[in-house]
Amino acid sequence: MKRWLLSAACAAALTVSGCNTPSDAQRTAAGPSAPQASADGAGRPFSVQEFGGFSEPWAMTFLPDGRLLVSEKPGTLRVVDPSSGRMGSVSGLPAVDHGGQGGLGDVVLHPGFASNRLLYISYAEAGENDTRGAAVARGRLDCAQPDACTLSGLEVVWRQVPKVGGRGHYGHRIAFDADGKLWISSGERQKFDPAQDMSANLGKIVRLNDDGSVPSDNPFADQGGVAAQVWSLGHRNPLGLAFDAQGRLWNHEMGPKGGDELNLVERGANYGYPIVSNGDHYDGRTIPDHDTRPEFRAPAITWNPVISPAGFIIYSGTLFDGWRGDGFIGGLSSKSLVRIEFDGKQAREAERWDMGARIREVEQGPDGAIWLLEDERDGSQGRLLKLVPANG
Ligand SMILES: [Ca+2]
Ligand SMILES: [Ca+2]
């Protein structure tokens, strides 16, 4: 049974039928749930409304009808109607390898979803001999019922190669660009050197056609194999991908100790991991800093102390006046929301708010509200949060 804080949803909506009659078996009212007007953060430019809790939530995306899909790492995809408080689930999901950092991951709509109903998901997939790797699959999503959807015709369009042992650094964030190309961030699976090895697609950002085939104009297309998928290399664990209004791709990645990064992702560029990093290995071995090897692309921002970035949007709404074009990054260990200001190819951290919980995912709602998912570890409760202007 899911926890579900009804009255916040009701408070958020002007007219919602059934808000005082939580009879739906799929929801239970619990706990104090009035919108928190920054009680623990006076002076913040937003107030926070809570929308219930999830089991290890990882990613979310909005459907055109205003409902929200929320992935849970154990392998469940939830469908949530914030206006009514109803929550159901999506059937037809593949088996996922849940454990460590792996499980069900990102959830993203095809840019032509309104007509083709294609939903893309990423997840950790088990292989032979205790190996695993990220996979991206797509299927047709049908949501005729108010609190249940089905995913059918599922086909895997991309896999990490090779599958390796361990359960870390899958990356597997998904984004589409304005041309409908499919972009996937692929972590180096805590194996270091594959990030520089073009016979592996680990530690890379890959660019594909929407069916998983390789565009002939990719920078390493003439090398064939998985190298042909690669747009950029030398990444560690990229957990955020976002395009700005000018079509530039930015990524952030969880670095080694003291080395989190925001990067402008450019064609064919090598970001240097594990040869260079402004951080160092967790076992104490040093890694030469970026300025020692100028042939590798340096980050636009490097964080030490780290923020542990997860989730990323570049804001395009109008609800928060003045934030259009800014980046918003969740912080896990920093339990924060970070605002980024861009200036062409430069970027800087402009603001950081203490959220009191590990922030796993950031999304922009249809009305321009900013939505967050908490992680569910170290006291964080896996809640869904909606941020609206404090004086709105
Ligand atoms: Ca998302
Ligand atoms: Ca270093």
Choose, from 169, 172, 235, 290, the residue flagged as catalytic: 169
Q: At 44, list the tokens.
A: 């913040």
Alpha-carbon distance of 177 to 380, in angstroms, equals: 33
pLDDT at 155: 98
pTM: predicted TM-score of the whole model, two decimal places: 0.90
Cα of 244 vs centre of ligand 1, distance in Å, is 15
Instruction: Show me where the domains of the chain are located.
Output: 62-168
199 with 210: CB under 8 angstroms? Answer: no
Cα of 250 vs centre of ligand 2, distance in Å, is 22
Task: Please report the beta strands in 86-176, taking only residues with DSSP state E, as ranges in sequence order.
Answer: 86-91, 104-109, 118-126, 132-145, 148-159, 171-176
Torsion angle (degrees, nearest 10) of CA 343, 349, 355, 356: 160
Say which ligand is closest to the CA of 361. Answer: 1
Cα of 183 vs centre of ligand 2, distance in Å, is 28
Cα of 85 vs centre of ligand 1, distance in Å, is 20
Closest CA to 266 of 291, 292, 300: 300
Alpha-carbon distance of 88 to 72, in angstroms, equals: 13
Amino acid making up residue 331: G
Question: Helices (H) and strands (E) in the chain — how many of each?
Answer: 2, 24
Alpha-carbon distance of 194 to 191, in angstroms, equals: 6
Alpha-carbon distance of 361 to 384, in angstroms, equals: 9
Find residue 126's DSSP bridge partners.
132
pLDDT at 147: 85
Residues present in the chain in total: 392
User: Residue 173 to residues 120, 196, 367: CA-CA distances in angstroms?
Assistant: 11, 20, 24
DSSP state at residue 131: -
Say which ligand is closest to the CA of 69. Answer: 1
User: Residue 300 to residues 5, 98, 209, 240, 262: CA-CA distances in angstroms?
Assistant: 39, 33, 28, 14, 6
Task: Give ∠ CA 74-241-217 in degrees, rounded to 5.
Answer: 115
Radius of gyration of the chain (CA): 20
Q: At 17, list the tokens.
A: 């039928």
Q: At 169, list the tokens.
A: 């650094």
378 with 371: CB under 8 angstroms? Answer: no
Alpha-carbon distance of 375 to 261, in angstroms, equals: 20
Q: At 135, list the tokens.
A: 């996979």
Torsion angle (degrees, nearest 10) of CA 187, 190, 193, 196: 10
Amino acid making up residue 199: S
281 is an active site residue? no
Say which ligand is closest to the CA of 371. Answer: 1
159-197 in b/e burial notation, b at 16+ Cβ within 10 A? bbbbbbeebebbbbbbbbeeeebbbbbbbbbbbbebbbb
Cα of 286 vs centre of ligand 2, distance in Å, is 6
pLDDT at 324: 98
Phi first, then psi, for residue 137 (nearest 5°) are -130, 155
Whether a cis peptide bond, with omega within 30° of 0, leads into 274 is: yes
Per-residue pLDDT of the chain (392 residues), as tens digits, is: 333 443 333 333 322 222 322 222 222 222 223 333 344 455 799 999 999 899 999 999 999 999 999 999 999 999 999 999 899 999 999 999 999 999 999 999 999 999 999 999 999 999 999 999 999 999 999 998 878 999 999 999 999 999 999 999 999 999 999 999 999 999 999 999 999 999 999 999 999 999 999 999 999 999 999 999 999 999 999 999 999 999 999 999 999 999 999 999 999 999 999 999 999 999 999 999 999 999 999 999 999 999 999 999 999 999 999 999 999 999 999 999 999 999 999 999 999 999 999 999 999 999 999 999 999 988 899 999 999 999 75
Amino acid making up residue 372: L
